[in-house]
Amino acid sequence: MMKLRVLGCSGGIGGSLHTTSFAIDHDILIDAGTGVGELSLKELSRIDHIFITHSHMDHICSLPLMLDSVAGMRDHPVIVYATAATIELLKQHIFNWKIWPDFSVIPSVDKPLMRYQAIVLAETVVLQGRKITALPAVHTVPAVGYHLDSGQASLVFSGDTYINDRLWEVLNTIENLRYLIIETAFPNSEIELARLSKHLCPSLLVDELCKFTGNAEVFVTHFKPDEVELIMAEVANCASRLPAKILLNNQEIIF
């Protein structure tokens, strides 16, 4: 059994809104947006594994600060899982000694605070019986989603994505899929912006869900803070075999 806690699921910040990050049990994060700040210092120090979907700021902005905060509380590295392309972007643009120190070599090369672990599509990482597999995503930078399998049931997080036939080909083979968290960043009136930035809007979401032949509880995430009600109203008005609910901060999903 696995427990996902939503630390952040917004496309922006303001008030109680935080950008994307999910805590899995007590030791795993999926993405490291501003939602990571919801964790106490003790909780932060227990995170051993961080799976990054892609390099955009709203999904990685808390990673540098978190590592700095727990530096004196850990005796083994935090493992950051991402594609080789995303790791290279983190090295070049974040952990480059200009924006932030390179925690993959400090306090020493032999005993760093952070260690990168490159992953590839369809590769499964097994952590104490919990399986996490990278899924295809279509975005403006190299990106993946994740399939989380407890052994009893599965949850899929699309990450930031667009029209993506390859994703549905995989999802249609997951027999124990119970939950699907999928992004919808823009309202229908901004469909051209959604296409340009490779995100979904409600009409595109419904088209994508039509490619899914299984059954799962669908949650929609990644709204812009001032468009939540509009987007969810448009999602509700779109005809779909699978009704979609809004994902909420601090929501817990057990599977």
Residue 122 has a CB neighbour count (10 Å cut-off) of 11
DSSP letter for each residue of 156-225: EE--S--S-HHHHHHHTT-TTEEEEEEE--S-GGGHHHHHHHT---HHHHHHHHTT--S--EEEEE-B-G
Task: Tell me which of 178 and 241 has the higher pLDDT.
Answer: 178
Average pLDDT in the 81-91 region?
A: 98
pLDDT score of 238 more than 90: no
Each residue's pLDDT tens digit, 141-174: 999 999 999 999 999 999 999 999 999 999 999 9
Confidence of residue 239 (pLDDT cuts 50, 70, 90): low
Q: What's the mean per-residue pLDDT of the chain?
A: 96
Pair 246, 222: CB distance under 8 Å: no
Domains and their CATH numbers in the chain: 3-254 (3.60.15.10)
Q: Could you tell me the pTM of the whole model? A: 0.97
Residue 180 has a CB neighbour count (10 Å cut-off) of 24
Q: What is the percent of the chain with per-residue pLDDT over 70, rounded to a whole number?
A: 100
Q: Do strands 124-127 and 114-119 pair parallel, antiparallel, or not at all (unpaired)?
A: unpaired
Each residue's pLDDT tens digit, 112-144: 999 999 999 999 999 999 999 999 999 999 999
